[in-house]
Amino acid sequence: MLLLTAAILILVLANVALWPEVKPEREAAGEVSVLIPARNEQENLPRCLETVLSQPCVREVLVYDDHSEDNTAEVVRSFAARDPRVRLIEPNPLPPGWAGKTFACHKLSEAAEAPWLLFLDADVTLAPGAIAGVLAEAQRRGLTLLSCWPGLIMHGFWEKLLMPMLNFVVFTLYPAPLAIRRPLDASLGLAHGALILARRDAYRRVDGHRAVRAELFEDTLLARVWRQRGEFSLCLDGRRLVHTRMYSGLRPIWLGFQKNFYPAFRSPLSFWAFLVFHAVVFLGPFLTANWAAAACVIAMRLALAVRFSHPLWSAFLHPPAQAFLLALGLASWWRYRHGSGVPWKGRRYVAR
């Protein structure tokens, strides 16, 4: 166990030390269509649009109102009255076999005019120069898809305790430096839906969101499809450019990740292997008083906390956070396989 946790610690330290950051730029060659799928986002959308419209390189900002039950459409119309680049895309009925977000992104791509498509979640805020920085980075690296991993905005005890586990899950298993050296290896595809920049011609070649139309975990699966079809994609550290408060409080964290947890795995076997691995390797040392291995786990958490500006104290509360993660996975499995699905923003997500 000590050898295994030490090996994972080395991977984490490599990710922390060698994963490139994308930095803001004053300008870049080219224009983007900013595409925002929005469902019940009246609270978040104004901040998002304000930071988008202050950026260079923006030809247009298209917002798809995904059958919102609040004033999302009115928010977009108020911005459109002030800036002609903003346009509301009215919703179509959701076709069979599509998830809501993938269909929204697909319809946005059909309406876009710029050579680059920038998909943003409605709850993100952008730093000055963020769009030019992402565009310039993609052009320098010869990429047709570049996703930026966001900085996480966290308020309150539960968010600061639990949200760092997202980065822990990813960067204890994902070899980010290797993904840069092997940009066509589909197994190393990674993306975060907060910000995905895609060249429009490549998006059409790979069939865009249509290729992942039924998926709830569509961002990373899109990056893998991208690589499978011969296009260069990367996910880089974008915490200087884009920030998001993914979930506000304990209940939204529970329901939001419950919606995505079980569907993120391609088979029940991989899901159960993940849960067993996390239980044995990342919680087991604390339960069996294997303090050397436990220290390696805490060191992983501290290294990630320093890199991503998470509160350091959350690293020392790893055991309850890890137990919460395992309970969340089990709840997601139960709701999808034996329950009525997971409710989220007025929809109910069920197993396919």
Q: Which distant-in-sequence residues (6+ apart) come within 8 Å of 293 by Cβ?
A: 1, 2, 4, 5, 284, 285
CA dihedral in degrees (287, 290, 292, 296; nearest 10)? -30
The burial of 325, by beta-carbon neighbours within 10 Å (0-12 exposed, 13-18 middle, 19 or more buried), is given as buried
| Type of residue numbered 270 | S
Dmax over CA atoms of the chain, in Å, equals: 62
pLDDT (0 to 100) of residue 351: 67
Q: What's the mean per-residue pLDDT of the chain?
A: 96
- pLDDT attached to residue 342: 85
The DSSP bridge pattern shows strands 233-237 and 145-149 to be parallel
Residue among 305, 301, 273, 269 at smallest CA distance from 285: 301
Phi, psi of 312 (to 5 degrees): -65, -35
- Reference 56, options 3, 134, 125, 110; nearest CA is 134
Rg of the chain (C-alpha set): 20
Q: Is 249 strand, coil or helix?
A: coil
pLDDT score recorded for residue 103: 97
List the 32-38 sheet strands across, edge first.
Answer: 86-89, 58-65, 32-38, 116-120, 195-199, 145-149, 233-237
What pLDDT shows up at residue 340? Answer: 82
Q: What domains are there in the chain, each with its CATH number?
A: 2-16+249-337 (no CATH), 19-161+173-244 (3.90.550.10)
Q: Are 223 and 185 in contact (CB under 8 A)?
A: no
Q: Which two tokens stand for residue 13?
A: 């330290």
Cβ neighbours for 94, distance < 8 A, ≥ 6 positions apart: 67, 100, 103
User: What is the pTM assigned to this prediction?
Assistant: 0.95
Are 36 and 122 within 8 A, CB to CB?
yes
How far is CA 271 from each of CA 95, 195, 268, 278, 333, rounded to the nearest angstrom?
A: 28, 26, 5, 11, 9
CA distance 344 to 128: 32
Q: Give the chain's residues under pLDDT 70.
A: 351-352
Q: What is the pLDDT of residue 338?
A: 87
Residue 352's pLDDT is what? 62
